[in-house]
Amino acid sequence: MFSRFSRSWALVKASATVLKQDKELLWFPLFSSIATILVAASFIVPVAVSGGFERLDAEGGTEPWIWAWVFAFYLSQYFVIFFFNSALVGAALIRLNGGDPTVSDGLRIASGKIGVIFGYAMIAATVGLILRMLEERLGWIGQWIVAAIGVAFTVATFLTVPILVSKDIGPIDAVKESASMLKKTWGENLIGNGGIGLAFFVIYLGLVAVAGGLLFLAVQSGSGALMAIVAGFVVVGFVIAALIQAALQGVYSAALYRYATEGQVGGEFSNDVMQDAFKLKA
């Protein structure tokens, strides 16, 4: 476990060197978060106001309109997420190639790939809908199947966005190339290391402990104003941590793509760190 965390922390530090040089990369996950919230509201609020959720309970979740609504929701959310992720990865690749990217550079790159990004969102939404339907039909057994397939799909498509950003190919070919590139580069070690997510899991545990302590002290003081201030700081702290994690994940995927295609990245992304990116615990 310690070796896995050590590798994950090395990836965090290496990705952080790029983020320190281009702090504007944090704008992309912020834009993505705001956009996904707006998209979710545009789907959920009208259905809630019109009584659609009551119909959903009454009909048992089997009506075609329900699945159509779920697919449209997935498609919209994935498109927004992939668009800003493409902008982030595109800007990160500029930095890794020695350039000095701006927010407009990232948005320009993503805007030039809207068609293939939408196609990739269609693929992800279709897979998501199928997994959701399996989960509904197979019960707790379906949950295990969905989890296994979901992990496999996530890993296989990990480099799809960098490929779409860097090459003039379609989304299906990009997904195939992502899976092939990962298998060729990391082989049987593909599924193993938690990557940056593992390191941030530990960080979030620390934040929870600190936040819990501060909130306890605020409650003990009996001051409503102090409790509100502490709660506000806690929320802001978690939001900032989430934005940093998302930005580092984008840099990480860009670095993995560069390593898979060129055999090296440079800077703190040593070959040992990159080769161990998916290494199983010994």
pLDDT by residue (tens digit) across 189-211?
444 445 677 778 888 888 889 88
Q: What pLDDT shows up at residue 189?
A: 46
Q: What pLDDT shows up at residue 171?
A: 94
DSSP reduced 3-state for 61? coil
Question: What distance in Å separates the CA atoms of residue 69 and residue 147, rounded to the nearest whole number?
Answer: 22
Q: What pLDDT shows up at residue 5?
A: 59
Region 243-251 average pLDDT: 89
Q: pTM, whole model, 2 decimals?
A: 0.83
Region 68-89 average pLDDT: 94
Quick check: 86 pLDDT over 90? yes
Rounded percentage of the chain residues whose pLDDT exceeds 90: 33
> Of 89-93, 155-159, 268-272, which gets the smallest average pLDDT?
268-272
CA dist list (Å): 105 to 27, 76, 88, 142: 12, 23, 9, 43
